Protein backbone atom coordinates (compact mmCIF):
# COMPACT_ATOMS: atom_id res chain seq x y z
CA UNK A 1 0.00 0.00 0.00
CA UNK A 2 1.20 3.55 -0.56
CA UNK A 3 1.55 5.92 2.35
CA UNK A 4 -1.12 8.62 2.63
CA UNK A 5 0.54 11.99 2.91
CA UNK A 6 -1.74 14.42 4.72
CA UNK A 7 -0.39 18.00 4.63
CA UNK A 8 0.05 19.49 8.11
CA UNK A 9 0.10 23.22 8.69
CA UNK A 10 3.07 24.38 10.79
CA UNK A 11 0.83 25.54 13.64
CA UNK A 12 -0.60 22.05 14.20
CA UNK A 13 2.80 20.31 14.32
CA UNK A 14 4.10 19.01 17.64
CA UNK A 15 5.91 21.76 19.51
CA UNK A 16 6.15 23.49 22.88
CA UNK A 17 3.33 25.93 23.55
CA UNK A 18 3.37 28.70 26.10
CA UNK A 19 1.63 28.02 29.39
CA UNK A 20 2.04 30.30 32.38
CA UNK A 21 1.05 28.69 35.68
CA UNK A 22 0.02 31.24 38.26
CA UNK A 23 0.10 29.94 41.84
CA UNK A 24 -2.80 32.28 42.59
CA UNK A 25 -4.91 30.52 39.98
CA UNK A 26 -4.33 27.14 41.63
CA UNK A 27 -4.96 28.57 45.11
CA UNK A 28 -1.40 28.19 46.37
CA UNK A 29 -0.68 31.88 46.94
CA UNK A 30 -1.07 31.45 50.73
CA UNK A 31 2.01 29.31 51.07
CA UNK A 32 4.15 29.78 47.96
CA UNK A 33 6.31 32.85 48.56
CA UNK A 34 8.13 32.96 45.23
CA UNK A 35 7.87 32.79 42.33
CA UNK A 36 4.26 33.92 41.88
CA UNK A 37 4.12 31.73 38.82
CA UNK A 38 6.30 30.32 36.09
CA UNK A 39 6.32 29.56 32.38
CA UNK A 40 5.68 25.81 32.49
CA UNK A 41 4.73 25.35 28.79
CA UNK A 42 3.25 22.19 27.33
CA UNK A 43 3.56 20.00 24.24
CA UNK A 44 0.83 19.88 21.67
CA UNK A 45 0.49 19.05 18.01
CA UNK A 46 0.63 16.28 15.49
CA UNK A 47 3.45 13.95 14.62
CA UNK A 48 2.76 13.56 10.88
CA UNK A 49 4.36 11.38 8.28
CA UNK A 50 7.10 11.97 7.26
CA UNK A 51 8.62 12.98 10.59
CA UNK A 52 11.01 15.81 9.98
CA UNK A 53 14.21 16.13 12.03
CA UNK A 54 12.77 19.10 13.87
CA UNK A 55 10.22 16.81 15.48
CA UNK A 56 12.94 14.92 17.36
CA UNK A 57 11.39 11.55 16.60
CA UNK A 58 12.90 8.28 17.70
CA UNK A 59 13.40 5.46 15.20
CA UNK A 60 10.31 3.87 16.68
CA UNK A 61 8.28 7.04 16.16
CA UNK A 62 9.41 7.26 12.52
CA UNK A 63 8.24 3.70 11.91
CA UNK A 64 5.00 4.31 13.79
CA UNK A 65 4.15 7.31 11.60
CA UNK A 66 4.87 5.19 8.56
CA UNK A 67 2.53 2.43 9.76
CA UNK A 68 -0.05 5.05 10.76
CA UNK A 69 0.04 6.51 7.27
CA UNK A 70 -0.66 3.04 5.88
CA UNK A 71 -3.25 2.06 8.44
CA UNK A 72 -4.61 5.14 10.22
CA UNK A 73 -7.57 3.25 11.69
CA UNK A 74 -5.57 0.83 13.80
CA UNK A 75 -2.27 2.59 14.47
CA UNK A 76 -2.21 5.99 16.12
CA UNK A 77 0.37 8.67 15.46
CA UNK A 78 3.23 8.93 17.94
CA UNK A 79 2.63 11.18 20.93
CA UNK A 80 3.87 14.72 21.21
CA UNK A 81 5.65 14.73 24.56
CA UNK A 82 8.25 16.73 26.52
CA UNK A 83 11.78 15.56 25.70
CA UNK A 84 13.69 18.25 27.59
CA UNK A 85 12.55 19.73 30.85
CA UNK A 86 14.21 22.15 33.21
CA UNK A 87 13.89 22.86 36.88
CA UNK A 88 12.65 25.72 39.01
CA UNK A 89 13.20 26.71 42.63
CA UNK A 90 10.32 27.48 44.92
CA UNK A 91 10.31 29.37 48.17
CA UNK A 92 7.42 28.43 50.43
CA UNK A 93 6.09 28.06 53.97
CA UNK A 94 5.63 24.50 55.16
CA UNK A 95 3.02 23.34 57.67
CA UNK A 96 5.23 24.38 60.58
CA UNK A 97 5.66 27.88 59.13
CA UNK A 98 9.30 27.15 58.32
CA UNK A 99 10.63 28.87 55.23
CA UNK A 100 11.79 26.32 52.68
CA UNK A 101 13.72 26.74 49.45
CA UNK A 102 13.35 23.70 47.24
CA UNK A 103 14.76 22.85 43.85
CA UNK A 104 12.34 20.92 41.65
CA UNK A 105 13.34 19.09 38.50
CA UNK A 106 11.20 18.64 35.39
CA UNK A 107 8.90 21.60 35.91
CA UNK A 108 9.38 23.51 32.66
CA UNK A 109 8.96 22.06 29.16
CA UNK A 110 11.85 23.30 27.04
CA UNK A 111 11.51 21.01 24.05
CA UNK A 112 8.93 18.58 22.64
CA UNK A 113 9.31 15.58 20.43
CA UNK A 114 7.39 12.72 18.85
CA UNK A 115 7.69 9.49 20.79
CA UNK B 1 -16.96 14.39 41.64
CA UNK B 2 -15.08 17.07 39.69
CA UNK B 3 -13.91 18.72 42.93
CA UNK B 4 -12.82 15.31 44.22
CA UNK B 5 -10.82 14.70 41.05
CA UNK B 6 -9.20 18.11 41.37
CA UNK B 7 -8.26 17.38 44.99
CA UNK B 8 -6.83 13.99 44.03
CA UNK B 9 -4.78 15.56 41.25
CA UNK B 10 -3.52 18.23 43.63
CA UNK B 11 -2.54 15.61 46.21
CA UNK B 12 -0.58 13.71 43.55
CA UNK B 13 1.29 16.83 42.54
CA UNK B 14 1.97 17.93 46.13
CA UNK B 15 3.30 14.46 46.92
CA UNK B 16 5.63 14.64 43.94
CA UNK B 17 6.81 17.97 45.33
CA UNK B 18 7.59 16.26 48.63
CA UNK B 19 4.59 17.64 50.54
CA UNK B 20 2.03 15.55 52.36
CA UNK B 21 -0.64 18.15 51.70
CA UNK B 22 -1.26 21.78 50.99
CA UNK B 23 0.47 23.75 53.78
CA UNK B 24 -2.09 25.62 55.84
CA UNK B 25 -2.41 29.36 55.34
CA UNK B 26 -1.02 31.70 57.98
CA UNK B 27 -3.20 32.27 61.02
CA UNK B 28 -4.95 35.62 61.04
CA UNK B 29 -3.76 36.35 64.60
CA UNK B 30 -0.09 35.81 63.86
CA UNK B 31 2.01 37.42 61.15
CA UNK B 32 4.01 35.06 58.98
CA UNK B 33 7.67 34.62 59.59
CA UNK B 34 9.88 36.86 57.47
CA UNK B 35 11.93 35.21 54.77
CA UNK B 36 15.59 35.29 55.84
CA UNK B 37 17.61 37.50 53.51
CA UNK B 38 20.14 34.70 52.94
CA UNK B 39 17.35 32.50 51.59
CA UNK B 40 16.18 35.25 49.22
CA UNK B 41 19.72 35.57 47.91
CA UNK B 42 19.92 31.81 47.35
CA UNK B 43 16.56 31.83 45.57
CA UNK B 44 17.64 34.63 43.20
CA UNK B 45 20.92 32.86 42.52
CA UNK B 46 19.13 29.54 41.90
CA UNK B 47 16.84 31.26 39.37
CA UNK B 48 19.90 32.36 37.38
CA UNK B 49 21.60 28.97 37.65
CA UNK B 50 18.53 27.05 36.54
CA UNK B 51 18.84 28.67 33.14
CA UNK B 52 22.34 27.19 32.91
CA UNK B 53 21.43 23.88 34.59
CA UNK B 54 24.84 23.83 36.22
CA UNK B 55 25.33 21.66 39.28
CA UNK B 56 21.70 20.89 40.08
CA UNK B 57 21.07 19.63 43.59
CA UNK B 58 24.19 21.20 45.01
CA UNK B 59 23.96 24.05 47.48
CA UNK B 60 27.13 25.95 46.72
CA UNK B 61 26.52 28.44 49.56
CA UNK B 62 27.17 25.62 52.02
CA UNK B 63 29.26 23.38 49.78
CA UNK B 64 26.99 20.34 50.19
CA UNK B 65 24.62 18.23 48.10
CA UNK B 66 20.96 19.02 48.52
CA UNK B 67 17.80 20.28 46.88
CA UNK B 68 15.91 21.42 49.98
CA UNK B 69 17.00 24.23 52.29
CA UNK B 70 14.79 24.73 55.32
CA UNK B 71 14.99 27.47 57.90
CA UNK B 72 13.57 25.39 60.73
CA UNK B 73 11.93 27.60 63.33
CA UNK B 74 12.79 27.36 66.98
CA UNK B 75 9.76 26.17 68.96
CA UNK B 76 11.43 26.35 72.37
CA UNK B 77 10.40 28.63 75.17
CA UNK B 78 12.22 31.15 77.33
CA UNK B 79 13.11 29.43 80.61
CA UNK B 80 13.59 32.64 82.56
CA UNK B 81 13.83 31.85 86.29
CA UNK B 82 13.88 28.11 85.72
CA UNK B 83 17.54 27.63 86.44
CA UNK B 84 18.51 27.35 90.08
CA UNK B 85 22.15 27.14 89.15
CA UNK B 86 22.53 30.41 87.33
CA UNK B 87 20.32 33.21 88.66
CA UNK B 88 21.98 35.80 86.45
CA UNK B 89 21.61 33.86 83.23
CA UNK B 90 19.12 34.07 80.49
CA UNK B 91 18.08 30.57 79.57
CA UNK B 92 16.34 29.67 76.38
CA UNK B 93 15.12 26.25 75.41
CA UNK B 94 15.67 25.60 71.69
CA UNK B 95 13.63 23.01 69.89
CA UNK B 96 13.79 22.22 66.18
CA UNK B 97 11.27 19.77 64.84
CA UNK B 98 13.33 17.51 62.58
CA UNK B 99 10.43 15.12 61.94
CA UNK B 100 9.41 17.43 59.10
CA UNK B 101 12.13 15.81 57.00
CA UNK B 102 10.83 12.86 55.01
CA UNK B 103 12.54 9.54 55.77
CA UNK B 104 13.92 9.40 52.21
CA UNK B 105 15.77 12.70 52.64
CA UNK B 106 19.48 12.65 53.34
CA UNK B 107 20.49 15.40 55.74
CA UNK B 108 23.65 17.07 54.40
CA UNK B 109 23.96 19.96 56.81
CA UNK B 110 22.31 21.40 59.90
CA UNK B 111 23.69 24.75 60.95
CA UNK B 112 22.46 26.51 64.03
CA UNK B 113 22.17 30.27 63.71
CA UNK B 114 21.61 32.30 66.84
CA UNK B 115 21.04 36.04 66.66
CA UNK B 116 21.18 38.17 69.78
CA UNK B 117 19.43 41.50 69.36
CA UNK B 118 20.72 43.70 72.09
CA UNK B 119 19.34 47.05 73.15
CA UNK B 120 21.23 48.75 75.97
CA UNK B 121 19.22 50.87 78.41
CA UNK B 122 21.16 54.00 77.50
CA UNK B 123 24.23 55.02 75.48
CA UNK B 124 26.15 55.31 78.76
CA UNK B 125 25.29 51.74 79.58
CA UNK B 126 26.58 50.72 76.20
CA UNK B 127 29.93 52.24 77.05
CA UNK B 128 30.13 51.08 80.65
CA UNK B 129 27.94 48.07 80.69
CA UNK B 130 27.88 44.63 79.14
CA UNK B 131 30.29 44.18 76.29
CA UNK B 132 30.38 40.43 76.07
CA UNK B 133 28.31 37.42 77.00
CA UNK B 134 29.35 33.91 77.88
CA UNK B 135 27.36 31.59 75.65
CA UNK B 136 26.82 28.00 76.66
CA UNK B 137 24.86 25.53 74.61
CA UNK B 138 23.73 22.24 76.08
CA UNK B 139 22.16 19.22 74.44
CA UNK B 140 19.26 17.90 76.50
CA UNK B 141 19.59 14.13 76.66
CA UNK B 142 16.47 13.23 78.63
CA UNK B 143 13.08 14.68 79.28
CA UNK B 144 13.29 16.93 82.34
CA UNK B 145 10.78 16.03 85.02
CA UNK B 146 9.42 18.69 87.33
CA UNK B 147 11.56 19.00 90.44
CA UNK B 148 14.47 17.06 88.99
CA UNK B 149 17.86 18.69 88.61
CA UNK B 150 17.84 19.91 85.01
CA UNK B 151 21.64 20.05 84.90
CA UNK B 152 21.86 16.27 85.15
CA UNK B 153 20.06 15.91 81.82
CA UNK B 154 22.25 18.14 79.73
CA UNK B 155 25.61 17.89 78.01
CA UNK B 156 27.71 20.89 77.05
CA UNK B 157 28.24 21.24 73.29
CA UNK B 158 29.50 24.82 73.06
CA UNK B 159 31.04 27.33 75.44
CA UNK B 160 32.44 30.62 74.26
CA UNK B 161 32.39 34.31 75.04
CA UNK B 162 30.93 36.57 72.39
CA UNK B 163 31.59 40.26 71.96
CA UNK B 164 28.29 42.09 71.63
CA UNK B 165 27.90 44.29 68.61
CA UNK B 166 25.85 47.46 68.72
CA UNK B 167 22.58 45.97 67.44
CA UNK B 168 22.89 42.27 66.87
CA UNK B 169 25.40 39.49 67.22
CA UNK B 170 25.35 36.19 65.36
CA UNK B 171 26.64 32.78 66.37
CA UNK B 172 26.70 29.86 63.96
CA UNK B 173 27.48 26.26 64.71
CA UNK B 174 27.47 22.96 62.80
CA UNK B 175 24.94 20.60 64.40
CA UNK B 176 24.59 18.07 61.58
CA UNK B 177 25.32 14.96 63.63
CA UNK B 178 23.05 16.05 66.47
CA UNK B 179 20.23 17.04 64.12
CA UNK B 180 20.51 13.66 62.40
CA UNK B 181 20.06 11.95 65.78
CA UNK B 182 16.94 14.08 66.40
CA UNK B 183 15.24 12.43 63.41
CA UNK B 184 14.70 9.25 65.41
CA UNK B 185 11.28 9.37 67.08
CA UNK B 186 11.40 10.29 70.76
CA UNK B 187 15.03 11.36 70.70
CA UNK B 188 14.74 15.12 70.37
CA UNK B 189 14.71 17.00 73.67
CA UNK B 190 16.26 20.10 72.15
CA UNK B 191 18.97 22.36 73.43
CA UNK B 192 19.43 24.81 76.28
CA UNK B 193 21.06 28.11 75.45
CA UNK B 194 22.50 29.91 78.45
CA UNK B 195 23.68 33.52 78.26
CA UNK B 196 25.65 35.11 81.06
CA UNK B 197 26.60 38.79 80.73
CA UNK B 198 30.28 39.51 81.32
CA UNK B 199 31.09 42.88 82.87
CA UNK B 200 34.24 44.65 83.82
CA UNK B 201 32.85 45.57 87.23
CA UNK B 202 31.00 42.74 89.01
CA UNK B 203 29.29 45.29 91.32
CA UNK B 204 27.42 46.65 88.33
CA UNK B 205 26.18 43.24 87.44
CA UNK B 206 22.73 43.47 85.93
CA UNK B 207 20.94 40.17 85.68
CA UNK B 208 18.89 39.44 82.59
CA UNK B 209 16.03 38.52 84.83
CA UNK B 210 15.54 39.35 88.50
CA UNK B 211 16.48 37.29 91.50
CA UNK B 212 14.14 37.30 94.52
CA UNK B 213 15.32 40.61 95.96
CA UNK B 214 15.61 42.60 92.74
CA UNK B 215 12.83 44.58 91.13
CA UNK B 216 11.70 43.52 87.73
CA UNK B 217 13.96 44.86 84.99
CA UNK B 218 12.46 46.60 81.98
CA UNK B 219 11.74 44.23 79.16
CA UNK B 220 14.10 45.98 76.77
CA UNK B 221 17.06 45.05 78.96
CA UNK B 222 16.66 41.50 77.71
CA UNK B 223 18.40 40.55 74.52
CA UNK B 224 16.04 39.11 71.99
CA UNK B 225 17.21 35.63 71.05
CA UNK B 226 16.32 34.37 67.59
CA UNK B 227 17.43 30.89 66.60
CA UNK B 228 17.05 29.01 63.35
CA UNK B 229 18.38 25.71 62.17
CA UNK B 230 19.35 25.79 58.52
CA UNK B 231 18.82 22.24 57.32
CA UNK B 232 20.04 21.24 53.86
CA UNK B 233 18.81 17.87 52.64
CA UNK B 234 18.74 15.84 49.47
CA UNK B 235 15.72 13.94 48.26
CA UNK B 236 17.26 11.42 45.84
CA UNK B 237 13.92 10.95 44.08
CA UNK B 238 13.90 14.61 43.16
CA UNK B 239 17.53 14.75 42.08
CA UNK B 240 17.95 12.17 39.43
CA UNK B 241 21.02 12.04 37.27
CA UNK B 242 20.58 13.63 33.88
CA UNK B 243 22.12 10.52 32.24
CA UNK B 244 19.39 7.96 31.80
Tens digit of pLDDT for each residue in B127-152? Answer: 555 567 889 999 998 776 555 666 77
Q: Is the ipTM of this complex over 0.85?
A: no
Q: Does B67 touch chain A (CB under 8 A)?
A: yes
As to burial, measured by CB atoms within 10 angstroms (0-12 exposed, 13-18 middle, 19+ buried), residue B222 is: middle
Bridge partners for B71 per DSSP: A99, B230
Name the residue facing B43 among A27, A30, A34 (closest C-beta): A34
B53-60: long-range pairs with CB below 8 Å, 24+: B53/A86, B53/A87, B56/A87, B56/A103, B56/A105, B56/B239, B56/B242, B57/A103, B57/B234, B57/B238, B57/B239, B59/B108, B59/B109, B59/B232
Using a CB-CB cut-off of 8 Å, the residues of chain A touching B71 are 98-100
Residue B66, phi-psi category: left (phi > 0), alpha (psi -120 to 50), beta (remainder): left
* DSSP secondary structure letter of residue B163: E
pLDDT band at B49 (very low <50, low <70, confident <90, very high): confident
Using a CB-CB cut-off of 8 Å, the residues of chain B touching A87 are 50, 53, 56
Using a CB-CB cut-off of 8 Å, the residues of chain A touching B75 are 96
**Whole-angstrom Cα distance, residue A109 to residue B204?**
67
Tens digit of pLDDT for each residue in B53-84? Answer: 666 788 989 999 999 999 999 999 876 644 55
Name the residue facing B26 among A26, A30, A101 (closest C-beta): A30
Name the residue facing B73 among A91, A92, A97 (closest C-beta): A97
A11: number of Cβ within 10 Å: 7
- Which residues lie closer than 8 Å to A72 by C-beta, 6 or more apart? A4
| DSSP of B117-161 | E---SSHHHHHHS--EEEEEEEEE-SPPPTTS-GGGGEEEEEEEE
**Whole-angstrom Cα distance, residue A107 to residue A88?**
6
Q: For the residues B26-37, what does the mean pLDDT come to? A: 73
Cα dist from A95 to A32, A98, B25, B49, whole Å: 12, 7, 8, 28
Helix%, strand%, coil% for chain B, nearest 5: 25, 30, 45
| DSSP of B61-104 | TTTEE-SEEEEEEP---B-TTT-SS-TT-EEEEE---GGGS-TT
> Count of A–B CB contacts within 8 Å?
95
Tens digit of pLDDT for each residue in B199-243? Answer: 655 444 455 544 443 433 433 355 788 899 999 999 998 887 654
Say whether pLDDT at B101 is over 70. yes
Q: Look at A20 and B120; give whichever has higher pLDDT.
A: A20
Using a CB-CB cut-off of 8 Å, the residues of chain B touching A99 are 33, 35-36, 39, 70-71
Amino acid sequence: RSAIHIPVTPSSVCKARRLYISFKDVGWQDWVIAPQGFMANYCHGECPFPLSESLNGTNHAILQTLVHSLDPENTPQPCCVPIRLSSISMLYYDNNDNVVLQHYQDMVVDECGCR
Amino acid sequence: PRAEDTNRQEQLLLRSLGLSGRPRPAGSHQPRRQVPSALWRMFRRAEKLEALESQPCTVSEYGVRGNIIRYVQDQGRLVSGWSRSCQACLEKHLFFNMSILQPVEVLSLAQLEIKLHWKPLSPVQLLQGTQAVAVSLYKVVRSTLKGANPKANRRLVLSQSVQLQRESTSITMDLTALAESWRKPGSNYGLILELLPLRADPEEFLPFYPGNSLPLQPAFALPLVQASLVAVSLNPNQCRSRRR
